[in-house]
Amino acid sequence: MDRKLVRKALFVGVIGYVVIITFVFLNEGGFIMNKKTAAAVDVSPAVFLKNERGEGRWLLIPKIGVDAKMQTVGTMPNGSIGIPSNATDVAWFAGSMPIGTMGTAVVTGHVDTRVFGPGVFRGLKRLAKGDALYTSIDGRIRQYTVTRSEVYPEGTDRMEEIIGVREGEARLVLITCDGTWDQSVKRYTDRLVVFADLVE
C-alpha cells in the first residue's frame, strides 16, 4: 500500500478521534452531556416509595429524572449558601427550616461542574407549575407541588423573598445556577429558584 495513503489515513483518523473526544467532554462551562449521560433516569414515585431508604435524606423529581441523596451544607466563607460536594447529590441548607416543617427549606444542586460533568439539577428549568417533588427524610415521605420558578441575578438582594420563613406554610425551595458562565469570576450570572409547597 502507498505510504502516503497510509499516513493520510492515520492523520485523518487521529484528527477525527480528537474532534470526537473534544465534542463529548469540553465546552465553556465544563463537560458536555453525551446522549447516555443526558438521558433521564427512569424513576417514579412508586419506585421511590418502595425503595427502602431507611436513614438519610433523598429528593425525587420524576419529571427530570432526579433521585438524589441529600447532603447538609452551611454558608460559604463569602456568606453565600453552600453547595453539594459532587454533581450527583443535592444539599439541604442548614440555615433554612428542616424539610417538612413550617417555613422554607432550601435545597441546592449543581447545574454542571467542570470536574464531574452535568449536575443533578441540569433539567431544573423544565419544571412547571403543578409538577410533583418528593422527599424522604429517615423513611418519612413527603410530596410537594411546584408553584412557580424565577431567575434572580447572582448576589441578589431579594434573599428574604427566596428563603424567608412563612407562617403556617411548609415550602421547599430548589436553587441552582443559571444564565451565562462568567469566566472572569468563574461563576454563572444568575440563579434559578423553584418554589414548591407541601401537599397535605
**pLDDT digits 0-9 by tens, 123-133:** 999 999 999 99
Q: Give the side-chain half-sphere CA count within 13 A for 15.
A: 6
Cell numbers for 33: 452531556
Choice among 40-49, 78-87, 118-127, 145-154 with the minimum mean pLDDT: 40-49
Cα–chain center distance at 76: 18
pTM, entire model: 0.73
Cell 449543581 maps to which residue?
Answer: 110
Q: Count of residues for the chain? A: 200
Task: Please name the residue that has the C-alpha cell 425551595.
Answer: 173
Estimate to the nearest angstrom the gap between the alpha carbon of 195 and the chain centroid.
14
**How confident is the model over 86-103, as a mean pLDDT?**
92
DSSP designation for 165: -
Confidence of residue 44 (pLDDT cuts 50, 70, 90): low
pLDDT in tens, 61-75: 999 999 999 999 998
Could you give the CA distance from residue 118 to residue 110 in angstroms, rounded to a whole number? 8
As given in the structure block, the three cell numbers for residue 142 are: 413527603
| Strand ranges inside the chain, DSSP E | 57-61, 66-73, 90-93, 103-108, 112-113, 117-118, 132-137, 140-153, 170-182, 187-198
